[in-house]
Structure 1
Amino acid sequence: MKDIFTEVITNEVVHRINTLTPKTQGNWGKMSVSQMLAHCCVTYEMVYTDKHQKPNGFVKLMLKLFVKNAVVSEKPFSKNGKTAPQFIISDEREFETEKKRLIDFIVKTQELGGNYFKDKESHSFGKLTTVEWNNSFYKHLDHHLNQFGV
């Protein structure tokens, strides 16, 4: 898996995002490109804000047991997979605003670096290793950028 904590990979991902336009169509799924950008921001909102309510102990345990590995492993996400409710963006979003938010989150994450994330508590899965954080960040971005052909 590519390392999102390196400047080279961050720049590569940002370049891919910058090739999107408000009219870019997805190759699968129902989201518009603006909704996809907002959807990708949710991962970072869960790290850097209190916008999303944390799951209770039982739900967190179930997420750790049944969802965590799919998110943090190197196995790619499948097309049209089930989306967690907090990641569903049903309203239309402003393309440039969401693009800037996502790029800012990605750059902030790279600047903080892998050591910042070592054993950091995730919103839904408990403590994650740096590799698990990297896989969850990069794999999600790569999946949706591929969805939109970039």
Structure 2
Amino acid sequence: MTNNIFEKSITDSLINRVNQLTPTTPNQWGKMHVAQMLAHCNVAYETNYENKHPKPNALVKLMLKILAKPTVVGSKPYKKNGQTAPQFIIKEPKDFEVEKARLIQYLQKTQELGEAHFHDRESHSFGRLTKEEWSTMFYKHLDHHLRQFRV
């Protein structure tokens, strides 16, 4: 199991890492600039807290559950330059400070709502997830991208 994002100390450490980023922090791999990466990471929270992204239809959701879910909620780290869902692709320029503030707010909200809020909750793409799967999904994705930018 990865670090438990519902623990305040873990969330605080992630926020500390986010705060180490600057608008000019270079990436080690990939095409996104740092502000785009922050916007990309925000999508994981937008799908839970905002009605901003359409839910996949039943067939697509089944395919995601079978093919992508084991990678997303499993313990194995993501590969560099891996594929992502269309709503996570950020090509347009983004405002670094806005995206950074949004991400920090989402992290704080997730930690404050806690694991009981997420346990057995329906995911946008994968069906019901345990609190451990939610924690792994949130932590692993953000950690992957913070490592992409050396923080």
TM-score, with length taken from structure 1: 0.99
Counterpart in the other structure of 2:91: 90
Counterpart in the other structure of 1:17: 18
Counterpart in the other structure of 2:136: 135
DSSP 3-state at the match of 1:115: helix
Cα deviation 1:113-135 (Å, max 9, x = unaligned):
01100000000000000000000
Partners of 2:139 and 2:20 lie apart in 1 by 18
Percent of pairs identical after alignment?
59
DSSP 3-state at the match of 2:47: helix
DSSP 3-state at the match of 2:143: helix
Cα deviation 1:91-150 (Å, max 9, x = unaligned):
000000000000000000000001100000000000000000000000000000000000
Partners of 2:114 and 2:28 lie apart in 1 by 32
DSSP 3-state at the match of 1:104: helix
Where does the alignment leave 5 or more consecutive residues of structure 2 unmatched?
none
Partners of 1:98 and 1:51 lie apart in 2 by 16
Counterpart in the other structure of 1:40: 41
Q: CA RMSD in A?
A: 0.4
DSSP 3-state at the match of 1:121: strand
Partners of 1:13 and 1:129 lie apart in 2 by 21
Amino acid at match of 1:125: F
Partners of 1:136 and 1:59 lie apart in 2 by 19
Q: Give the C-alpha shift of residue 22 in structure 1.
A: 0.2
Q: Give the C-alpha shift of residue 50 in structure 1.
A: 0.7
Amino acid at match of 2:45: Y
DSSP 3-state at the match of 2:128: strand
